[in-house]
Amino acid sequence: MYQEPGGRGWNALSRTQKTVIGVVGVLVLYALLSGTVSLGRLSDPSWIIASAIIILVAFPVHEMAHAAMAVQLGDDTPRMQGRYTFNPMAHIDPLGALLILVTGFGWAKPVQWNPNNINVDVRVGTVLVAAAGPVSNLLLASVAVSLIGFAEISMLREFLGFFIFINVALFVFNMIPIPPLDGSHILFSLLPGDNFELRMFLGRFGFIILLATIYLARGIIVGPVNLIIQWMFRVFG
């Protein structure tokens, strides 16, 4: 989301932003009252540390991967906008960071790039740029899986376990083909013909669908996450 110029505070937000904030508030309240969110882990130091590392390391790596791929393909837009960096302050989205802490799913500010500047086919370039971020999360999780066997301190093993889970969850979450997630860009690039109406529909309601999925249908995400983690431990553990 982007803030419109002019005004400050609540009045500076667009109607869509206000709607999303309201929906998030209702869903968080529902999650707390229904027990969907475990408040216990919010007091777990390993979870807090893992979430902080995700926000300060995994998010910047994810967004830098998008930026680096775009730059590699010939587009300097991310560099000009200050997104070609590992500095977390250039990438943090407050709402996405909060949701990581509460739910294990979240996002950073999306990297902007110009497909007209790349030196390969636009559809191929879009897939490469979109996939670079989620793949970086899988690589981070793989490194953590390879290290967890050497962790002799229980708190460190717990931290690595949370770090693995959140990174794989970010991969699965971002591959959901609904805007503004990376999977939607891959989907639209692979679909034949004109998909303008589908783009408009998902662009209008996608954010709300995603938030509802996080709170009401977590199994759609957690199931594949557990399967990928099991596979990683067989291969890298």
Catalytic position from the list 63, 152, 158, 197: 63
Residue 181 near residue 174 (C-beta atoms within 8 A): yes
67's tokens: 């930026």
**111, 130 in Cβ contact below 8 A?**
no
Closest by CA to 135, choosing from 202, 199, 183, 179, is 183
63 is catalytic: yes
Task: Write out the two tokens for 156.
Answer: 């460190």
**Spatial separation of the C-alpha atoms in residues 58 and 60, rounded to whole Å:** 6
Among residues 20, 23, 125, which one has the least CA distance to residue 72?
A: 125
| CB-CB contact of 174 with 166 (8 Å) | no
For residue 182, give the amino acid letter. D
Q: Which residues are catalytic?
A: 63
